Amino acid sequence: MTDSEYVLIRRRVHELLGIDLNAYKSTQMRRRLDAYLLRVRAKSWPEYFRLLEQSAEERQRFKDYLTINVTSFFRDADKFATLRERILPQLLDESRTLQIWSAGCSDGAEPYSLAMLVRSIAPNQRLQIWATDIDRSALSRAIAGGPYPEQSVENVPRMLRAQFLVPCEGGYRVKPELQRLIRFQEHNLLRDPVRDRFDLIVCRNVIIYFTEEAKAAVFQLFARSLRPGGFLFIGATETIPLQQARELGLEPVQLTFYRRVEPSATTVRPSHQARLAT
C-alpha cells in the first residue's frame, strides 16, 4: 500500500468506524490492512470502502479485525499468581470497596478472571469492576457471560471453575453472581473520559498496538486515574520506560506491575489526550 493510500484509509476508517488509526503503529497496521483486503477479495480500497458504506455487518467485522481481541481467562497465569499473592493482599487491606478497571477487556475473560480471583481470596469484599473496550461485538459476549470455548477457560484453576463456571453448549458460561460485579461499557481509551481513584487498573495487550505518543498519553491517563497506592497491571511486553514511569509517579513493583506513589513525590504533566482526541 502506498503512503497516500494509507492516508485515505485512515480518513475513511475514522469516518466510518470512529477509530483513529494514527494512534496505532503504522507498519503493523498496514500489514494487517493489506492482509484484510486480500481476505475479502476486494480489488482496491475504494471498492472495499463502497462495500463498507453499505454494510453495517461488514463494518462490525472490519472493526473486530482491526482491534484484535484475542484473550483468555487467567492469561499469563504467573502474573495472576503475583496479583493474588502480592498485590491484592495490600489492596484488600486498604480499600473498603475495591475499584478495578479492566481497560481493553475484549470478550470479558480478563475482568471475569479478576472477579473470580478477588472472590476466591476475599468472599465478602465489596468489589466493583468497570470493564471497557472499543469493540461492541466483543463486549456483547462479555455482557452475556459467554459462551466461552474450552481453550479460553483452560487456565482457570479447577476450584474456581467449579465455583464460577457452568458448562453450556459451546463451552462455559460465568455465573450471574460474577456478572453482577462487572459493569461493561463501550469506551475508547484514546478519547473517552475516565473517572479517577481506581485501586487497580488492568490494561494488558492493548497498547502494544499503539504508537509511542498514544502509549505515553494512555500511561498518563492511568497514572491520573489511580488513587495513591493503587496499582497498574500491564502486559508482559509493555514496560513503561523508567524515566517516564517516575515522572508519572508510577513506581515499578515487579515486571508488569506499577504502584502509584503519593502525588507529592511526582510531577504529572498536563494530559496529551486532547491532542489525540478523535
Ligand X SMILES: C[S@@+](CC[C@H](N)C(=O)[O-])C[C@H]1O[C@@H](n2cnc3c(N)ncnc32)[C@H](O)[C@@H]1O
Report the distance separating Cα 163 and Cα 262, nearest Å: 38
Point out which span in 29-37, 131-139, 167-175, 238-246 binds ligand X (CB under 6 A).
131-139
Decide: is 232 part of the binding site for ligand X (CB under 6 A): no
Residue number with CB closer to ligand X (133 or 249): 133
Point out which span in 81-89, 105-113, 156-164, 252-260 binds ligand X (CB under 6 A).
105-113
Asked whether the CA dihedral 119, 120, 124, 125 is positive or negative, the reply is negative
Decide: is 247 part of the binding site for ligand X (CB under 6 A): no
Q: Find out whether 70 and 106 touch, Cβ atoms under 8 Å.
A: yes
Residue number with CB closer to ligand X (106 or 273): 106
Decide: is 133 part of the binding site for ligand X (CB under 6 A): yes
Q: Which residue has the cell 469516518?
A: 15
Q: What does the buried/exposed string (b/e) look like for 99-136 if buried means 16 or more CB atoms within 10 Å of the residue's CB?
A: bbbbbbbbbbbbbbbbbbbbbeeeeebebebbbbbbbe
Residue number with CB closer to ligand X (135 or 247): 135
Decide: is 69 part of the binding site for ligand X (CB under 6 A): yes
Point out which span in 8-16, 90-98, 130-138, 239-247 binds ligand X (CB under 6 A).
130-138
Q: Find out whether 42 and 12 touch, Cβ atoms under 8 Å.
A: no
Q: Which of residues 180-209 bind ligand X (CB under 6 A)?
A: 188-190, 204-206
Look at the chain and count its residues.
278
Decide: is 117 part of the binding site for ligand X (CB under 6 A): no
Q: Find out whether 9 and 42 touch, Cβ atoms under 8 Å.
A: no
Total site size for ligand X, rule CB under 6 A? 20
The SS3 call for residue 154 is: coil
Residue number with CB closer to ligand X (104 or 145): 104
Residues near ligand X (CB under 6 A) are 67-71, 75, 104-106, 110, 133-135, 138, 188-190, 204-206
